[in-house]
């Protein structure tokens, strides 16, 4: 009997979860038959089962709801607001009762007759504004065939597979040491790949679609809006992103909190929205996507935004810092104040949020699982919160380092950069025994891992490697280690309390050879190493100043091209993203062009045929002209902080660089405009170059190169030119002779005094064009 | 049905561990030290895919330091609160049957032993001190905490 009840409870819970989104969608579209049917099925199932189990109250409730819905199905009644609310209230009560059954408790005492009475036609229900329809919830949830497994069992399987991997590694080492047969190697290879496959599959079993987390959001937003008298349309995207089921549980509360905040504080009342020229209905956009080994969850509202100034005032009021320091805060840092405990911009405390005990908890919860919360907001335009969380709790990409011969691991997420202590851009100083590293003009506290651990390092301080670690609060410090070894994905397990008590370690893991490695906790290291964090962050900005301006990294948009290439475009040139039908792309006037609304833009980024369906494109803007660039998908926003390896030839791709650990081609927007928009894009204030207009070679061959180098080309007109290009032996007026590049048609120079350039010496030409440009002081 | 005890030697003294608490007896070779950890934590070792926290029983009892330099050491693997520990002992002798319930030792013991004593039991080989595993793992600081 108990088993049957457990099955009943499980079935009901599953249906309730699947129903969460359906109900709200049904309310928005009461005529939608399929949704009505699935709600009807639910109450019907509950009714049938409780008759069998003797749960009289459940039965009465589900019976009443079934009757009312049957009427709607038969067309005898319309699904109006009061009815929907009454049905929802009953479904909620059923959910509570099922939870009580599951916990083995008595039903909460109470009377259900009010709920049942509310179902009657014409009954007074609470006035509930309609939540807008959901996007992305269009299809009815059909559950794939599943079975229930205990997480312990999965964990056991997982650890057995880990054992297998270790055993395989051990075997691999033995095989390498002794000469073996080719056939043995082949068999071993096969075994290896099977084990790898199995590990993947087992890891997947712990993964769950984030939809499970999102499915309850429409209902929550609906209830909130009803309570607050607001209108909010929630738009959910990316429900098929998968992440570790434990992780889903860990982000449930923070996500809920952020959404409550967005609805309560972010989105204004309909009247206020109209006043500020917005649509009455606020839009809450929730999306999830995977980027590398992180999941990004974006919560974006178009509400009133966060008032950074008010936050600062409150922070000063709360004594967090003085006025002078407050003035030094950047916009971003001002916004980040919402994560400080006890600060809230809400004028009054509401039942929903605003007690100022929220965002600091959100941040600490997310950070506990190795994630980051970012906030971006514009006053009057809205707020965007981004949660970045790792894919799983257990597998952490880490860097292995060694000190005094012992290996340790550092989580990759904390590492900002790695520099050599004796590098050009780095100086190490000692002030009263404390280490200060100056890395490209930025002063950061420096601690030696050997000192923290009390180990003796044989390598002198100068020859060690500095790892710059960024803590979640934004604090930075440099840790010197003996040697860097490898990037590894480590399966991390918690360490024993006696080990954790040191505060230095986040867990233990096993290296490939089966020996244990300790994983450091970056903030613990800082603490034990005596790095003073908050004071340091504000002071370091002084040293940052102009010096860091030079090394400032470029923000880029990382995307996948239509040909699958990983590329990056400088964020500044991307105006927006459009999705257009492939049929809007036509070859016209010598190149591909795309029609976007009223405009026809030149199109780049199309490797071959466009194909069917929709094409997404970036609209690039150079201030005067627009250009389309087709792509497959946006991967991430990133910064280029590694060196760019420049392409040999100018072209669509100007170079390649490591972005987020993988190479990406940097698209040269200038080249794109130069080639696709051509002459028309040249604005005023450019350098002017005179080319003989009667020389066809100059006009046809040379002109594009000169234009690509940033010049505006003129012919034999009466206009001062910054530069003149002429064939050797032709006439040039005296006052322009100084800035003339002479071209010759023979490859060999005629003598030492001959400063002319061979007309096909492209590199020489470009060099001359460049130096002419800088020489004129523009 | 009397309790089975594992007889081991710690700091030259024969003591008993409840065999129910013992998972296995292993020989440890490589020890990875844990810098900054409490002194009785001798380091980490791997047993298949599990990480064992190795406890130096002599240190935990403040009776000296086990010499780990000579390579392979015998250790008793126990589980406490989901973590696996290897207790370094001088020698693992035998499993014996307890012939009585533990009774308090009335004479004064040395402080280290006093802390981890669960009492004395009679066995075929004479009276033995039953050792509290959690006390060993907690080490010398546990008392102060």
User: Which of A444-473 are b and which e, b meaning 16 or more Cβ less than 10 Å from the residue's Cβ?
Assistant: bbbbbbbebbebebebeeeebbbbbbbbbe
Contact A209, A240 (CB under 8 A): yes
* Topology of domain A209-390, CATH: Heat Shock Protein 90 (3.30.565)
Contact with chain B for residue A516, Cβ under 8 A: yes
For residue A508, which residues of chain B lie inside 8 Å, CB to CB?
A: 44, 51
Contact with chain B for residue A528, Cβ under 8 A: yes
Of B33, B53, B139, which has the smallest distance from its Cβ to A406's Cβ?
Answer: B33
Rounded to the nearest 5 percent, the helix, strand and coil shares of chain A are 40, 30, 30
Whether A517 and B32 lie within 8 Å, measured CB to CB: yes
The token pair that represents B6 in the structure block: 């594992």
**Residue A636's closest CA among A578, A557, A570?**
A557
Gap between the Cα atoms of A712 and A721, Å rounded:
9
Gap between the Cα atoms of A38 and A689, Å rounded:
73
DSSP string, A311-340: HHHHHHHTTSS-HHHHHT--HHHHHHGGGS
Rounded to the nearest 5 percent, the helix, strand and coil shares of chain B are 15, 50, 35
What average pLDDT does the segment A513-532 reach? 82
Give Cβ neighbours of residue B43 (< 8 Å, ≥ 6 apart).
B31, B32, B33, B34, B54, B68
The answer, yes or no, to whether residue A776 has pLDDT greater than 80, is no
Of A159, A504, A508, which has the smallest distance from its Cβ to B36's Cβ?
Answer: A504
CATH 1.10.3720.10 matches A2-117 = no
pLDDT reported for residue A101: 78
Place of tokens 């109006």: A80
Taking CA atoms, what residue in B is nearest to A407?
A: B32
Taking CA atoms, what residue in A is nearest to B32?
A: A516
Q: Give the strand pairing for A294-301 and A382-390.
A: antiparallel
Instruction: Find the domain containing B72 and state its range.
Output: 4-140
- State the nearest Cα–Cα gap between A167 and chain B, in angstroms: 8
Quick one: DSSP state of residue A269?
P
DSSP string, A418-441: EEETTSTTEEEEEETTEEEEEETT
Contact A74, A2 (CB under 8 A): no
The answer, yes or no, to whether residue A48 has pLDDT greater than 80, is no
Cα A111 to Cα A116, A338, A733: the distances in Å are 10, 43, 102
pLDDT reported for residue B143: 44
Q: What is the SS3 string spanning A217-268?
A: HHHHHHHHHHHHCCCEEEEEECCCCEEEHHHHHHHHHHHHHHHHHHHHHHCC
Whether A494 and B53 lie within 8 Å, measured CB to CB: no
Q: Any idea which of A38-52, A120-134, A441-455, B18-32 has the lowest mean pLDDT?
A: A120-134
The answer, yes or no, to whether residue A549 has pLDDT greater than 60, is no
| Among B40, B44, B142, the residue to mutate for chain A (most A Cβ within 10 A) | B44
Query: Which of the four pLDDT bands, split at 50, 70 and 90, describes residue A543?
Result: very low
**Residue A46's closest CA among A91, A2, A6?**
A91
Place of tokens 């969380």: A389
* Topology of domain A395-544, CATH: OB fold (Dihydrolipoamide Acetyltransferase, E2P) (2.40.50)
Quick one: DSSP state of residue A410?
E
Residue B130 lies in a domain: yes
pLDDT reported for residue A299: 92
Going across the sheet that includes A282-291, the strands are A232-237, A282-291, A294-301, A382-390, A372-378
Greatest mean pLDDT among A350-359, A544-553, A632-641 lies in: A632-641
- State the nearest Cα–Cα gap between A416 and chain B, in angstroms: 25
Contact with chain B for residue A168, Cβ under 8 A: no
- State the nearest Cα–Cα gap between A366 and chain B, in angstroms: 25
For residue B139, which residues of chain A lie inside 8 Å, CB to CB?
A: 498
- State the nearest Cα–Cα gap between A164 and chain B, in angstroms: 9
Taking CA atoms, what residue in B is nearest to A504?
A: B36
Quick one: DSSP state of residue A482?
S
Whether A163 and B137 lie within 8 Å, measured CB to CB: no
Q: What is the CATH number of the domain that holds B84?
A: 2.40.50.180
| Among A499, A519, A530, the residue to mutate for chain B (most B Cβ within 10 A) | A499
Q: At what angle do helices A33-53 and A2-28 cross, to 10 degrees?
A: 160
The angle at the Cα of A454, spanning A449 to A457, to the nearest 5 degrees, equals 60
Gap between the Cα atoms of B79 and B20, Å rounded:
10
Whether B48 and A163 lie within 8 Å, measured CB to CB: yes
What confidence tens digit (pLDDT) does each residue in B82-126 have?
788 999 988 898 888 888 888 888 888 888 888 888 888 888 888
Predicted structure pTM score: 0.45
Alpha carbons within 13 A on the beta-carbon side of A581 = 3
What confidence tens digit (pLDDT) does each residue in A280-315 have?
888 899 998 877 667 889 999 988 888 888 888 877
pLDDT reported for residue B78: 92
Residue B12 lies in a domain: yes
Greatest mean pLDDT among A27-36, A58-67, A98-107, A117-126 lies in: A58-67
Gap between the Cα atoms of A639 and A152, Å rounded:
41
Of A499, A514, A517, which has the smallest distance from its Cβ to B41's Cβ?
Answer: A499
For residue A452, which residues of chain B lie inside 8 Å, CB to CB?
A: 35-36
Residue B8 lies in a domain: yes
Global ipTM: 0.86
For residue B136, which residues of chain A lie inside 8 Å, CB to CB?
A: none
What confidence tens digit (pLDDT) does each residue in B14-71 have?
999 998 889 889 888 778 889 888 888 888 988 776 789 999 888 888 888 877 666 6
Of A454, A501, A510, which has the smallest distance from its Cβ to B38's Cβ?
Answer: A501
Whether A504 and B83 lie within 8 Å, measured CB to CB: no
Centre a 10 Å sphere on the Cβ of residue B78 and count the other Cβ atoms it contains. Answer: 22
At the fourth CATH level, which superfamily is domain A682-775?
Response regulator (3.40.50.2300)
pLDDT reported for residue A750: 65
What are the φ and ψ backbone dihedral angles of A325, each rounded to 5 degrees?
-65, -35
Q: What percent of chain A has pLDDT over 70?
A: 81
The answer, yes or no, to whether residue A535 has pLDDT greater than 50, is no
Q: How many domains does chain B have?
A: 1
pLDDT reported for residue B141: 59
Residue B145 lies in a domain: no
What confidence tens digit (pLDDT) does each residue in A673-709 have?
777 775 444 444 567 777 777 777 777 777 777 776 7
**Residue A705's closest CA among A650, A647, A748?**
A650
What are the φ and ψ backbone dihedral angles of B94, each rounded to 5 degrees?
-165, 170
What confidence tens digit (pLDDT) does each residue in A318-334 have?
777 777 777 777 777 77
Residues 359-418 of A with CB under 8 A from B: 406
> Alpha helix (H) ranges present in A104-149?
113-117
The answer, yes or no, to whether residue A212 has pLDDT greater than 60, is yes
pLDDT reported for residue A455: 83
Whether A510 and B34 lie within 8 Å, measured CB to CB: no
Element (H, E) at A524: helix A522-528
What is the distance in angstroms between the CA of the first residue and the CA of the last residue of chain A? 87
The token pair that represents A641 in the structure block: 């902080």
Gap between the Cα atoms of A478 and A429, Å rounded:
12
What average pLDDT does the segment A83-92 reach? 81
Q: What is the SS3 string spanning A48-95?
A: HHHHHHCCHHHHHHHHHHHHHHHHHHCCCCCCCHHHHHHHHHHHHHHH
Gap between the Cα atoms of A729 and A754, Å rounded:
12
Taking CA atoms, what residue in B is nearest to A515?
A: B46
| Among B42, B46, B139, the residue to mutate for chain A (most A Cβ within 10 A) | B46
Contact with chain B for residue A493, Cβ under 8 A: yes
Contact with chain B for residue A518, Cβ under 8 A: yes
What confidence tens digit (pLDDT) does each residue in A389-443 have?
877 655 677 888 888 888 899 888 788 888 888 777 788 888 887 888 888 878 8
Backbone CA torsion sign across B129, B134, B137, B139: negative
Position with higher pLDDT, A174 vs A344? A174
Query: Which of the four pLDDT bands, split at 50, 70 and 90, describes residue A123?
Result: low
Q: Please report, to the nearest 10 degrees, the dihedral formed by the alpha carbons of residues B20, B23, B28, B33 taken in order.
A: -90
Quick one: DSSP state of residue A701?
I
For residue B50, which residues of chain A lie inside 8 Å, CB to CB?
A: 159
For residue B40, which residues of chain A lie inside 8 Å, CB to CB?
A: 498
Helix (H, G, I), strand (E, B) or coil at A377: strand
Position with higher pLDDT, A612 vs A288? A288
Whether B34 and A166 lie within 8 Å, measured CB to CB: no
Query: Which of the four pLDDT bands, split at 50, 70 and 90, describes residue A551?
Result: very low
Contact B50, B85 (CB under 8 A): no
| Among B83, B138, B139, B141, the residue to mutate for chain A (most A Cβ within 10 A) | B83
- Please state, rounded to an integer, the average pLDDT across all residues of chain A: 76
Residue B31 lies in a domain: yes
Quick one: DSSP state of residue A582?
G
- State the nearest Cα–Cα gap between A457 and chain B, in angstroms: 13
What are the φ and ψ backbone dihedral angles of A56, each rounded to 5 degrees?
-60, -40
Q: Interface of chain B against chain A, CB under 8 Å?
A: 30, 32-38, 40-41, 44-46, 48-51, 53, 55, 81, 83, 85, 137-139
């Amino acid at each position: 009997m108990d088993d049957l009840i457990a099955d009943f409870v499980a079935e009901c819970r599953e249906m309730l979860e699947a129903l969460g989104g359906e109900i709200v969608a049904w309310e928005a579209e009461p005529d939608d038959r399929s949704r009505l049917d699935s709600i009807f099925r639910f109450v019907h199932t509950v009714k049938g089962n409780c008759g069998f189990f003797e749960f009289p109250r459940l039965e009465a409730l589900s019976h009443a709801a079934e009757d009312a819905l049957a009427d709607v199905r038969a067309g005898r009644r319309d699904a109006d607001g009061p009815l929907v609310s009454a049905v929802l209230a009953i479904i909620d009560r059923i959910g509570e009762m099922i939870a009580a059954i599951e916990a083995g408790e008595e039903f909460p005492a109470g009377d259900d007759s009010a709920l049942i009475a509310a179902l009657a036609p014409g009954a007074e229900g609470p006035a509930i504004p309609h939540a807008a329809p959901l996007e992305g919830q269009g299809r009815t949830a059909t559950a794939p065939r599943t079975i229930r497994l205990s997480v312990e069992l999965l964990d056991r399987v997982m650890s057995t597979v880990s054992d297998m991997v270790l055993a395989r590694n051990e075997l691999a080492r033995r095989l390498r040491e002794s000469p073996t047969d080719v056939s043995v190697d082949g068999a071993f290879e096969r075994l290896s790949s099977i084990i790898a496959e199995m590990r993947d599959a087992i890891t997947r079993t712990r993964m769950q679609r984030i939809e499970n987390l999102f499915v309850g959001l429409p209902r929550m937003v609906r209830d909130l809006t009803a309570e607050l008298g607001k209108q909010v349309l929630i738009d959910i995207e990316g429900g098929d992103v998968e992440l570790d089921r434990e992780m889903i549980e860990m982000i449930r509360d923070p996500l809920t909190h952020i959404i409550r905040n967005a609805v309560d504080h972010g989105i204004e009342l309909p009247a206020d929205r109209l006043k500020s020229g917005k649509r009455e209905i606020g839009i809450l956009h929730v999306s999830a996507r995977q980027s590398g080994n992180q999941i990004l969850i974006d919560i974006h509202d178009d509400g009133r935004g966060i008032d950074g100034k008010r936050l600062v005032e409150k922070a000063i009021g709360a004594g967090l810092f003085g006025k002078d320091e407050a003035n030094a805060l950047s916009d971003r840092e001002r916004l980040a104040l919402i994560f400080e405990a006890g600060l809230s911009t809400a004028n009054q405390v509401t039942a929903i949020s605003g007690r100022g005990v929220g965002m600091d908890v959100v941040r600490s919860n997310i950070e506990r699982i190795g994630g980051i919360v970012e906030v971006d907001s514009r006053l009057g335009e809205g707020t965007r919160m981004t949660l970045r969380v790792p894919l799983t709790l257990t597998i952490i990409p880490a860097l292995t380092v060694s000190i005094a011969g012992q290996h340790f691991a550092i989580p990759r997420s904390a590492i900002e950069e790695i520099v050599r202590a004796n590098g050009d851009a780095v100086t190490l100083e000692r002030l009263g025994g404390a280490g200060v590293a100056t890395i490209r003009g930025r002063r950061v506290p420096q601690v030696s891992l050997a000192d923290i651990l009390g180990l003796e390092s044989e390598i002198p301080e100068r020859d060690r490697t500095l790892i710059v670690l960024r803590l979640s609060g934004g604090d930075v410090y440099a840790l010197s280690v003996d040697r860097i070894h490898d990037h590894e994905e480590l399966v991390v397990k918690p360490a024993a309390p006696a080990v954790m008590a040191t505060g230095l370690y986040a867990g233990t893991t096993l290296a490939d050879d089966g020996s244990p490695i300790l994983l450091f906790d970056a903030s613990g290291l800082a603490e034990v190493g005596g790095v003073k964090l908050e004071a340091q962050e504000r002071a370091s900005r002084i040293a940052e100043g102009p010096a860091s301006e030079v090394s400032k990294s470029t923000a880029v948009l990382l995307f996948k091209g239509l040909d699958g290439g990983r590329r990056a475009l400088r964020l500044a040139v991307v105006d927006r993203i459009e999705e257009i039908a492939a049929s809007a792309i036509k070859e016209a006037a010598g190149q591909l062009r795309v029609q976007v609304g009223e405009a026809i833009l030149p199109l780049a980024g199309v490797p071959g045929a466009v194909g069917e369906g929709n094409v997404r494109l970036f609209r690039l803007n150079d201030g005067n002209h627009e250009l389309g660039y087709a792509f497959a998908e946006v991967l991430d926003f990133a910064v280029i902080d590694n060196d760019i390896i420049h392409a040999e030839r100018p072209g669509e791709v100007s170079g390649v660089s490591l972005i987020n650990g993988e190479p990406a081609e940097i698209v040269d927007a200038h080249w794109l405009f130069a080639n696709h928009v051509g002459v028309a894009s040249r604005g005023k204030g450019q350098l002017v170059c005179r080319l003989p207009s009667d020389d066809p070679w100059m006009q046809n061959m040379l002109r594009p190169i000169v234009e690509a180098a940033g010049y505006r080309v003129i012919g034999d007109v009466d206009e001062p030119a910054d530069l003149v290009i002429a064939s050797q032996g032709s006439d040039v007026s005296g006052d322009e002779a100084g800035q003339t590049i002479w071209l010759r048609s023979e490859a060999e120079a005629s003598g030492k005094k001959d400063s002319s350039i061979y007309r096909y010496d492209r590199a020489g030409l470009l060099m001359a064009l460049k130096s002419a440009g800088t020489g004129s002081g523009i | 049905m009397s309790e089975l005890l594992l007889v081991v030697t710690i700091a030259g003294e024969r003591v008993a561990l409840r065999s129910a608490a013992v998972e296995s007896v292993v020989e440890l070779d490589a020890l990875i030290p844990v810098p900054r950890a409490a002194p009785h934590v001798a380091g980490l070792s791997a047993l298949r895919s599990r990480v064992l926290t190795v406890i130096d029983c002599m240190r935990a009892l403040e009776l000296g330091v086990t010499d780990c330099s000579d390579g392979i050491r015998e250790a008793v693997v126990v589980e406490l609160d989901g973590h696996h520990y290897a207790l370094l002992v001088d020698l693992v002798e035998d499993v014996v049957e307890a012939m009585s319930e533990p009774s308090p030792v009335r004479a004064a013991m040395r402080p280290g032993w006093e802390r981890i004593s669960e009492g004395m039991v009679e066995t075929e080989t004479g009276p033995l001190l039953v050792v509290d595993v959690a006390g060993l793992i907690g080490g010398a600081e546990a008392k102060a905490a």
